[in-house]
Amino acid sequence: MEIYTSGPPTRRTTDRIKVGIADFAVGDRESTLSTSGLGSCVGVALYDDRVGVAGLAHAMLPHGEGKSDEAKYVDTAVGALVEAMEREGASRRRLVAKLAGGSTMFEFKSTDESVGDRNVDAARATLAALAVPVEAEDVGGDHGRSLELDGATGTLHVRSASAGQQML
């Protein structure tokens, strides 16, 4: 299995695949995909149970159409992640999504939505356009999160120093 990230694909050398900020990766049933430092960023976990292909994106900003760094933006990162998963045998029709992050980490005096809210909205809209259902979410709030996606089960483990742990 090739590991797809925002850089050139590399071969897996371990069962743990770290996903950086503005990055995404694809793994299989033997993989655990992890990312940390989700504040206003949104983590999008995708899973195809039939073939055991899992994917995780850590995107920073909502929209990047026409921009070169596709993994940095929610809308383009989700599309690229779906395509990478399809190359590994996943079917878009079988994918389910789980979302985490999108916090409001800082208060600004503005009438606009926070970056976290806009990231979550962009993730939901992009997944809806791709007909990928969102199965579970842990979004919003004012705390950071770390994620681990279990490639064997599709379970998304969400950890936060201030909000504890949960499994989606």
Domain that holds residue 53: 2-167
**For 163, which DSSP code?**
T
Is 64 or 101 the better-scoring residue by pLDDT? 101
- pLDDT for the residue 3: 53
SS3 139: strand
Q: Which two tokens stand for residue 53?
A: 């292909």
CB contact at 8 A, 117 and 123: no
Q: Could you read off the pLDDT of 108-125 as tens digits, one per residue? A: 655 578 899 999 999 999
Confidence check: pLDDT of 6 > 90: no
Residue 41 designated active-site: yes
What's residue 74's pLDDT?
97
For residues 76 and 110, what is the distance between their CA atoms, to the nearest angstrom? 27
Report the pLDDT averaged over residues 22-44: 95
Total structural domains within the chain: 1
Q: How far apart are CA 121 and CA 63, in angstroms?
A: 10
Give the chain's count of helices (H) and strands (E). Answer: 2, 12
- pLDDT value of position 14: 59
The active-site residue out of 25, 41, 122, 149 is: 41
Mean pLDDT of 73-101: 97
pLDDT at 162 over 90: no
Domain with residue 136: its CATH number is: 3.30.1330.200
